[in-house]
Structure 1
Amino acid sequence: MTPTRRHLLLAACAAPLAGLLGCTEAGSATVLAPVEIDPATTCDLDGMLLADYPGPKAQIHYVGSAPPVFCCDTREMFATLLAPEQVKPVRAVFVQDMAKADWEQPRGHWFDARAGFYVGGSKRRGSMGPTYASFAVEADARTFAAQYGGKVLRFAEVRVDMADLTGGTTQDAKM
């Protein structure tokens, strides 16, 4: 049978579909969504109930682990991710956009932490004292810094020495 124009058109349309059907789970790129905290969600580092404390929270999704690791605040997230002993591959990291979330009881408004802007050194305190206020939009971070003080940084600008956790327990009156 000689291929007709119709056969060639069908083959051309089917080729991209065949490539999609051939994807394996290991090769497919699934979009990972953040998990919302609830009254029972705890910090993986110290067991604190996240809902009981102010300031931005974070969640780290590791390769090969279904539930995320929750952090009390963004300083803890940076300390975890930047620690020299951190070798687990990370799938995604989410923080809360504090231009939209209530500082005292933050819920929702999660975004990709690596794309964010952070204000360090402000007067606002998180669950463990000083923290990095997280923002999805640079203008919101600058507005926050103008009101509460601090310096605006990109994710990659925060260094391990800037995420020291040693003072947190001495500053937390609720622990």
Structure 2
Amino acid sequence: MNHSYQPRCGCTTRRQLLGWAALASLGTLTGLTGLTGCSQADNSAQSLQPQEIDRTTSCELDGMLLADYPGPKAQVRFAGQDKPSFFCDTVELFSTLLAGEQVRAVQAVYVQDMGQADWNAPQGHWIDGKSAIYVVGGKRHGSMGPTIGSFAQEADAKKFAAEYGGKVLRFAEITPAMVDLSGGALHDTRM
């Protein structure tokens, strides 16, 4: 069963969303096909483009300021939103997308290409999260402690994994069991 996320408009039924949520909670979700919204007003190509972070951009989950932390950031355009939801870490992104209770329709997912962006102060270099290559289990930290590196090129991901450890995976291969939020946020006094 191939459930690959596609950033385009198309109605998703509540039953489909709940089915995908159930698969995600079992660790069997292989992507996010059809998690798209029904609102035609927000679906222009322009409105779904990634937005750059600034000094005031905060994380949807915990309010942390993205610019204060190293490592790849992420943003998701949920149906019905005029602005993306930002995440200070790719671990939070996958935790949100793979959560059993996640039922919001996803129109677009973007992560930063860490083959191009400065790890310590990443800016720009946004790529489609669905087509990105990830390194799970590496030793390099983001805002949440150990993070999931995101790359546009498989060669960059393999180079990163050779230097910092971890396993090179595609979007659809990441499971809830690989997402650990018990890192940096529990010990962060800057929030």
Residue in structure 2 matched with residue 18 of structure 1 by the alignment: none
The Cα shift of 1:27 comes to 9.2
The Cα shift of 1:168 comes to 3.7
What do residues 20-67 of structure 1 show as CA deviations (whole Å, max 9, x unaligned)?
xxxxx8399622210000001001111111001000000010011111
Q: Is the 2:42–2:80 contact (alpha carbons within 8 Å) kept by the matching residues of 1?
A: no
SS in 1 for 2:147: strand
Correspondent of 2:55 among 39, 43, 49:
39
Report the TM-score, using the length of structure 1 for normalisation. Answer: 0.81
Bigger-Rg structure (1/2) = 1
Write 1 or 2 for the structure with the bigger share of strand: 1
The Cα shift of 1:169 comes to 2.5
Moved over 2 A (4+): 25-30, 166-175
Q: Is the 2:42–2:79 contact (alpha carbons within 8 Å) kept by the matching residues of 1?
A: no
Cα distance in structure 2, aligned partners of 1:169 and 1:55: 14
Residue in structure 1 matched with residue 145 of structure 2 by the alignment: 129
Is the counterpart of residue 63 in structure 1 residue 79 in structure 2?
A: yes
Report the TM-score, using the length of structure 2 for normalisation. Answer: 0.74
The Cα shift of 1:174 comes to 4.3
Show the 5 A alignment for 1:78-117: 78-117=94-133
SS in 1 for 2:57: coil
Cα distance in structure 1, aligned partners of 2:110 and 2:157: 17
Identity of aligned residues (%): 60
Total equivalences in the alignment: 151
Residue in structure 2 matched with residue 5 of structure 1 by the alignment: none
Write 1 or 2 for the structure with the bigger share of helix: 1
After superposition, the Cα gap between the structure-2 partners of 1:26 and 1:169, relative to the gap in structure 1 and judged at 3 Å, is: closer
Correspondent of 2:156 among 119, 136, 140:
140
| Higher relative contact order, structure no. (Cα contacts within 8 Å, ≥ 6 residues apart) | 2
After superposition, the Cα gap between the structure-2 partners of 1:47 and 1:98, relative to the gap in structure 1 and judged at 3 Å, is: same
**Amino acid of the structure 2 residue aligned with 1:143:** K
SS in 2 for 1:122: coil
The Cα shift of 1:73 comes to 0.5
Cα distance in structure 1, aligned partners of 2:183 and 2:121: 23
